[in-house]
Structure 1
Amino acid sequence: MKLVVRPTTKADVAAAETCLTDGKAALAELDIPQWQGEYPNRIDITEDIEHGAAYVAESADGALVGTLALSFTGDETYDAIDGAWLTDSSSSSPTYGVIHRCAVSKAAAHQGVMSFMFEECERIAREHGAKSMRIDTHERNLPLQGLAQKLGYQRCGVIALPYEGEADPLRVAFEKLL
């Protein structure tokens, strides 16, 4: 599948949200409790657009088949880790990029879309001068963990989400040197 990764526009919000909805359904089918509430949704996509952090994958026929957030502003959640990051960088002075809220449409699942998106994020991160990429996921999200490891990300430890009411706040954290 030939793809282009580009910044998300306001016109893409509905299709990007469909990717998130498909991602939620895929997690539910695997009995993974991650994303089984309102989050993430079109509000998160819109906020990511406003912060210049929203990206989509578009197929050659113009279909939007993947979505994610790519940020270079640091993530306070990553400041405390049970383990150790590969780089010594905090949210107050980040030298890393972060991938969040990544999902693929059901129609494009298992076709390499997310692998391509991660590789493009790494290219963008290098252009921003980032030294590494970080990502986290639920401990039961073995498909994403497998993808991260296949692409050279190393498991660094466990972080805890700071959101009140989060039933299962622990996440496995990965980092890749660029």
Structure 2
Amino acid sequence: MRREGAAAAAASTSAGGTAAAGAAPAGAAAGGSAPAAASAAAAGAGPSIEQLMERQRLEEAALPLMLEAMWAANVLDIQNTLRKVCRFVLTEEGAPKAELQARANALKVLGGIFMESRAPEAAAPNDARKQMEEAMMRVVEKRAQQEGATESEEEARP
């Protein structure tokens, strides 16, 4: 029973830990009610194949949105950091004007280099999906190992 809990927790983690992009809880994914799903789970019956397929479809639909949100957050963080660093480097008190001018020129060259660079062509959407799936598998395996260790400890107790 504990392994089912780890798999369900890992599946909810893959959807961002919440019902992302309108994803319904597992019990409601195929039109079932939450109490019915809870009683089915308590009786030992897991979600149906249709429910699992719907959940997977919703998670796949949410993946691009999650990646886009993470990318946007990273872009904002990088922009804010660069803004602060450039302001400091270009307005440092006590630095000679010639040094500040040289720093400005160096930043201009560096910015040009970054603007000319491109993302590798190997960075396809399927690569991101594959990386997310591999990361989720590692999470599930780690949780299963942790729960297996916990069960072993409980069984060893007199």
TM-score, scaled relative to structure 1: 0.21
Tell me which of the two structures has the higher relative contact order, counting C-alpha pairs closer than 8 angstroms and 6 or more residues apart: 2
More strand by share: 1
The structure with the larger Rg is: 2
TM-score, scaled relative to structure 2: 0.23
More helix by share: 2
